[in-house]
Amino acid sequence: MNCGMIFKPTLTCLLLAATALAQSTPSPDSTSGNLAQATPPDASAQAGTPISYASVSRLNGMLSQLESASKSTQSDLLGLRIERWKTDKTTKEQALTNLDSIQRNLQSGLPDIIAQLRAAPESVPASFKLYRNLDALYDVLGNVVELTGAFGTRDDTQALGNDLNAFEATRRQMAERIEDLATAKEAEIVHLRTELKSAQAAVPTPPPKKVVVDDTQPAAKPEAKKKSTTKPKPHTPAATTTKPPAGQTQPQPQNPNPQ
């Protein structure tokens, strides 16, 4: 079998990205033991919308099956003897890399996503996050199953094949649940919009305000010009000099202190 055709290097990147996405989202406090205090309540519960018991029961059964498949897969992966495979070193190293990424996802990424969905069972984003993780996990595990079938034992191939089928079944159920949630949310939005329009139509519209303009008033008279209050300066007559008649000599002033 041509291993180069079976092997897909990008599958590991997909699974690692899904694991990082789960770890980047705040998870419940594992030390407190109280999930209700560690994770905020569901938005639908805050809005007062009742959560269907059948929907929650269906989700809990799905998540329980997923946790069981995760434990079984981890055990089966530990039993693999990839170092004994009769293939080249590159294929063995890449198979070990895939195995390690699957183990990390099952031990940390997947449990965090499951805890988030249990805390908010009607959350579409949390449901879709789990679906994306299962999709990446299915691709990487499927590659390991193909390599095990080519170079491993029949028992290992059968065990991992059963694990892969379990993940595939959960992935299909999750896809159906997301579709149901989206349909229900859409119907709820349409209902709320209808109620909002009815409430707006029931509110009486206030009459328009009338503005009365009185154009009978006489036009304003222009203001009279103010008179200048500056007083005129008094006229001072010029000094005149009287000349004596002709032939008369103007008397000279006498010196009161003769020598």
Contact predicate 25/126, CB 8 Å: no
pLDDT of 169 reads 94
Residues 6 or more apart whose Cβ sits within 8 Å of residue 58: 177
Is the distance from CB of 22 to CB of 110 less than 8 angstroms?
Answer: yes
CA atoms within 13 A on the CB side of 180: 15
pLDDT of residue 230: 62
As a whole number of angstroms, the distance between CA 128 and CA 174 comes to 8
- Helix, strand, coil shares of the chain, percent, nearest 5, are 65, 0, 35
pLDDT, mean over the chain: 76
Given this model, what pLDDT does residue 204 score?
Answer: 80
Give the pLDDT score at 54: 79
What's the rounded Cα separation, in Å, for the pair 118 and 58?
A: 12
Q: What is the pLDDT of residue 43?
A: 39
Taking only the tens of pLDDT, the chain with its 259 residues reads 444 434 444 555 555 555 555 555 444 343 333 323 333 334 343 344 556 777 888 899 999 999 999 999 999 999 999 999 999 999 999 999 999 999 999 999 999 999 999 999 989 999 999 999 999 999 999 999 999 999 999 999 999 999 999 999 999 999 999 998 888 888 888 888 888 888 888 888 777 777 766 666 666 666 666 666 666 666 655 555 555 555 555 555 555 555 4
> What pLDDT score was predicted for residue 175?
92
List the Cα angle 188/61/165 in 5-degree steps: 110
| pLDDT value of residue 253 | 55
Q: What is the pTM of this model?
A: 0.59
**What pLDDT shows up at residue 29?**
40
Sorted by where each begins, the domain ranges of the chain are 52-199
- Token pair 């929650």 in the structure block, residue: 56
Rounded to 5 degrees, φ, ψ at 216 are: -90, -10
Mind listing the pLDDT tens digit for each residue in 114-130?
999 999 998 999 999 99
pLDDT at site 247: 57
* Domain boundaries 52-199, CATH class: mainly alpha
The confidence score (pLDDT) of residue 220 equals 62
